[in-house]
């Protein structure tokens, strides 16, 4: 399950051992293509990785703080520190590999 980040509050994601944060927007075509991929991966990686979504329009301060300039943007955090990021749509296998490389 992908948890929604609201009110620019990433406390839960920052406290997670491993978190994948999807920065996106409702009006973004590639973001809408990526959302079901992220949802599937969240179910497959349940218990190992925590998944979050932050809408950039309602979390502008957060997007700015993490230097999000293009979406969809995926950040991987370990214990509150960003260890990797990627931008743009990726097929499920490619995104799974990207995440698994950080585990």
- Distance between CA atoms of 74 and 47, rounded to whole angstroms? 19
Which residue among the candidates 31, 63, 77, 99 is catalytic per the annotation?
Answer: 31
Q: Which of 10, 19, 21, 28 is catalytic?
A: 28
Residue with tokens 């969240």: 42
Catalytic status, residue 49 = no
Q: Is position 28 annotated as part of the catalytic site? A: yes
Which secondary structure element, helix H or strand E, spans residue 78, and what is its range?
strand 73-78
What DSSP character marks residue 62? H
Write out the catalytic residue numbers. Answer: 28, 31
């Amino acid at each position: 399950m992908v948890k929604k980040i609201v009110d620019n509050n990433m406390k839960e994601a920052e406290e997670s051992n491993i978190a994948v944060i999807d920065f996106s927007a409702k009006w973004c075509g590639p973001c809408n293509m990526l959302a079901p991929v992220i949802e599937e991966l969240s179910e497959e990686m349940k218990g190992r990785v925590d998944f979050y979504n932050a809408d950039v329009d309602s979390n502008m301060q957060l997007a700015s703080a993490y230097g999000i300039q293009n979406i969809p943007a995926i950040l991987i955090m370990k214990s509150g520190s960003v260890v990797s990021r990627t931008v743009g749509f990726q097929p499920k296998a490619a995104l799974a590999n990207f995440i698994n490389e950080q585990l």
